[in-house]
Structure 1
């Protein structure tokens, strides 16, 4: 009996030692991969504890996904050392519940039987720039706006340019720089001023004095910018015209998204701007079609599927359509 107890204690110590060594190695590799540095030993200890909690949460969730109880998988990415309560406080739209006086433009929903393709992915046109990273600045509204303009310009003239989010952060006085904004407001600014290329006005993750140079601005020839009222309108606008700026109520788990169709929790209201670049559907474990949006985020290529993700279509997931915005070109 004493021998069995001793063996049990030894095995427990062995497992604990292995676990400690494993996490030491994983933590070191993760810090190197994402270039993480901390100001003190105390801060690193706090962040490591959060990272370990995230690691366990990701493993538990992925077990559910592997067994068919969730439609998406998670990863221990560059947000893993940020606590869920910290992530939930992040917002890069204007104050929750903000409204816009820009009119919603109803669009006839043609439906798949009425002429729209069953699958659209504007990345296939080579007119979608790679996913960028807004960093610590709450400038998702600028990235969503610029990303839509980049793609739509390319679809019009077959030339993909990388335009400046920093110009909007610094110079758009209606929006609130790193404290949030709305794409429909930013489209108004872009209509009036044009946008410089990112190489001429580089992104710096903070607001600076406006350095707009009209001589280096790309004239956009936008005639009308507007809100879109619902998902049906977004489907039509996206299929017929190109990517659309949309919103999303991001809760903590979305930060850990890896792949699949995100069916996790949402924030109470939209707090983030992203870009709808396509839509499609795939069969689930019950052989039923699950329609989805393809979205482009502004959290870098380390997040999701090289910065892109799939979210459910047809249920206005996480207030997807609440702040949707698009524009028309001069014909």
Structure 2
């Protein structure tokens, strides 16, 4: 109990000191406020170097003019924010010929044997397109013109207490060796000060951050947001390309 209270006080000091600086983002008390970063990392983040996207990706850039803002949530293709709980399952993808529906295979936040049922498939993935390592221009083009993109980035101690605003911290790294959390880029925008940002869906529940989302500064590969990014090719894409 003393350890929890002492940790909470230390995090509270970090929150107050950070917010006093009037940065582009604010921190706040949340469910991680009584955890040390090491404790939070062991429960919620990936460990070790990640085997992620190819150094040279295969996303094809076009000359289409990109919109200044994009948000796939307005088009009804982004599911509700989930809470991965202590399972640390942000990395999980299945190569079983499809993904079962949430109704038929609910998330349990526990390690176990896969119970995939091929007659309960709700979506199929034909292939995966990688974004070139560090190429935010490719990532923006893909988010603007194709669909939401799975990305990985480095969570650092202050980020676990994120509350609002555009997160930007020079203490982040930008290499595949340091990314430790997988999330979903669902769009991008520009704040009132003219700073461009990514709209990112997290997996720590809807009470964390901005209703489960966060904004990350765009243009600096902040925290390695474009070092390990990819999106799926689905059967519908193949139909359209053959028309």
Question: Shorter-chain TM-score category?
Answer: 0.7 to 0.9
Change (3 A) 1:202 1:106: closer
Runs (4 or more) in structure 1 with deviation over 3 Å come to 87-94, 99-103
TM-aligned CA deviation for residue 137 of structure 1: 1.1
Structure 1 residue 64, shift from structure 2 partner: 1.3
- The size of the alignment, in residue pairs, is 230
Contact in 2 for aligned 1:102/1:226 (Cα 8 Å)? no
Match in the other structure for 1:281: 190
Distance 1:91 1:269, change over 3 A: farther
More helix by share: 1
How big is the shift at 1:97?
A: 4.6
* Structure (1 or 2) with the larger CA radius of gyration: 1
Which of these residues, 91, 94, 98, is aligned with residue 51 of structure 2? 98
Counterpart check, 1:84 vs 2:43: no
Residue segments in structure 1 that go unaligned for 5+ positions in a row: 1-43, 143-185
Q: Distance in 1 between matches of 2:108 and 2:227?
A: 29
Answer whether contact 1:103 1:226 (CA < 8 A) is retained.
no
Q: How big is the shift at 1:199?
A: 2.0
Structure number having the greater strand percentage: 2
Distance 1:315 1:90, change over 3 A: farther
Query: What secondary structure is seen at the aligned counterpart in 2 of 1:193?
Result: coil
Query: Could you tell me which of 76, 97, 100 is aligned with 1:193?
Result: 97
* 1:266 and 2:169 correspond: no
Task: Give the corresponding residue for 1:29.
Answer: none
Tell whether 2:216 aligns with 1:307.
Answer: no
For normalisation by structure 1, the TM-score amounts to 0.64
Q: Secondary structure at the match of 2:211?
A: coil
Alignment of 1:36-115 (within 5 A): 44-65=1-22, 70-89=23-42, 92-93=45-46, 95-99=48-52, 104-108=57-61, 110=63, 114-115=64-65
Unaligned 5+ runs, structure 2: none
Gap change, CA 1:275 and 1:99, over 3 Å in 2: closer
Over the aligned positions, Cα root-mean-square deviation in angstroms equals: 2.2
- Report 1 or 2 for greater relative contact order, CA contacts < 8 Å, sequence distance ≥ 6: 2
**Is residue 53–residue 230 contact of structure 2 (8 Å, CA) maintained in 1?**
no
The reply on whether 1:231 has 2:231 as its aligned counterpart is: no
